[in-house]
Structures are given as C-alpha cells and as structure tokens.
Structure 1
Amino acid sequence: MVNIALWIAAGLLAVVALGGGVIKVFVPPQKLAAAPGGGWTADFGVGFVKTLGVLELLAAAGLVLPAALGIAPVLVPVTAVCWVLLMVGAMITHGRRGESAFVALNLIYLALAAFIAWGRFVVEPFTG
C-alpha cells in the first residue's frame, strides 16, 4: 500500500515539476513576471530562471523514469531530496515577497518530496 502511495506521490510531484519547468523555460520573462506568483522572476536574471526550469524538467524525469525503467532507481529519492532543497529556496523567496499562499503551496510540495525520499530510502526502497 505504501508503494502505491509513493508512486502516486512521485507522479503528482513529477507533474508539478514538469509544469513549472515548461513554464520557466518557454514562457517569455515579461509574461512570467506578470503571472500570479511569478513576480519573483523579475528579481532574477533570465538565465537563472531558465536554469531552474531545466532543473524542474530533470526533476520530473528523475522522480519517475529511473524506477519505471529500472535504471538507477536510487535516483528517485535523491531527486526528491533535491526537490526539498529547491522548495526551501522557493519558500524563502516567496516569504521575502510576502506571498504566504505560495509559501504554503511550496511547503506542500516539500512535504510530498520528503515523503517520497523517506519512503524510497527507508520504507519501500527499490531493490535490484
């Protein structure tokens, strides 16, 4: 049962990462800065924002593909730990801007990633 919950959590977080990555990589900077929750991007360079987007795209792949393909499945919990760190940065950035709703959303994503990391490192690690 925990295995199924971990797969669902990883899939949900992968969708979130994919969406965020696509937006940061492909949406023009001015449009991104004008979007709800995107105002922070005006404080950073385009290269930084696009790099975060690429990292999110890699996270989307890293949360699912290693286990699904049976190639280095330990990358799933490693990716989840990296996502936790990314969400800490996002929470700090949104917190400094007074965007408490986005801090709360990032906290939910952080908790989901922590669950995946704990679950795949401790409770239901991939064997093989």
Structure 2
Amino acid sequence: MNLALWIAAGLLALVALGSGITKTFVPKKKLAGIPGAAWYQDASVGFFKTLGVLELLAAVGLILPAVVDIAPVMVPVTAVCWVLLMVGAVITHVRYHDGAKVVVVVSIYLALAAFIAWGRFGPESFTG
C-alpha cells in the first residue's frame, strides 16, 4: 500500500509539475488551440498564472514533505487541495463542453489525489 501511495503521489506530482509549468510560463495565447482548453479564453492571465503556481506548489507538496520528513502531514493536505482543484476542473470542463476524454482524465487525477489523501491520513499515515 505504501508503494502504491508513493507511485500515485509521484505520478500526480509529475502531472502537477507539467501543468503548472505550462500555465505559469507558456503565454496564454499559445495555449488557445489545445484540446480541452476552451476555458482559457474566458480566464484572466492572473487567474491562469495563479492556477499554474498552485499546481507547482502541489507538485512539491505531494513529495517533498515526506522525503525530507518535515511536516509530512502536508502530503495528504496537498492531496485534499488537489481534489478540490480537480472538482473545479471537472465542473469547468463539463461547462465548456471540452469532451468526455478531458473529463475522464481530470477525474482520474481527482481519484488519485483522493487515494493519496485517504491513504496518508489513514492506513499509511506518516505520523503513525
């Protein structure tokens, strides 16, 4: 179970890192043609960049606290925050009719984060 949680956290951290870098450093206009990105047109640059920074922080928060053993409770807290972010993403993608593929992928990220939160707050807690 511990290994599965580490793998899930690593995969989700990579997703958050990639998405965070894209939203933070790639110009909004350049991303307009990406499938599932219809919402980009209505989002302000500030909102867009803020999401990117939050995703970069999530990438760090899913791994680093446990690795350095400083406030490892931040791993499941970060996972809960990611769940909330993904709930918003699912709602947004449904609202903008971005397609079932995008909603399914985002839902998988949500499920991974929920698994990490459950596992790290519960049976495989770093504090127990």
Question: Shared fold (TM-score greater than 0.5)?
Answer: yes
Name the counterpart of 2:33.
34
Partners in 2 of 1:29 and 1:12 — Cα distance? 25
Q: How far apart are residue 106 of structure 1 and its match?
A: 0.7
Name the counterpart of 1:43.
42
Normalised by the length of structure 1, the TM-score is 0.96
The alignment partner of 2:32 has SS state of helix
Letter in 2 for 1:42: Q
Partners in 1 of 2:110 and 2:125 — Cα distance? 19
Q: How far apart are residue 98 of structure 1 and its match?
A: 1.3
Q: How far apart are residue 71 of structure 1 and its match?
A: 0.5
Report percent identity of matched pairs: 69
Greater Cα offset, 95-104 or 7-16: 95-104
Letter in 2 for 1:12: L
Partners in 1 of 2:124 and 2:28 — Cα distance? 41
> What's the RMSD between the two structures over aligned residues?
0.9
Task: Could you tell me which runs of 5 or more consecutive residues in structure 2 were left unpaired when the two chains were aligned.
Answer: none
Letter in 2 for 1:108: I
Count of residue correspondences: 127
Partners in 1 of 2:93 and 2:127 — Cα distance? 38
Partners in 2 of 1:16 and 1:113 — Cα distance? 11
Name the counterpart of 2:56.
57
- 4+ residue runs over 6 A deviation: none
Letter in 1 for 2:74: L
Letter in 2 for 1:57: L
Task: Could you tell me which runs of 5 or more consecutive residues in structure 1 were left unpaired when the two chains were aligned.
Answer: none
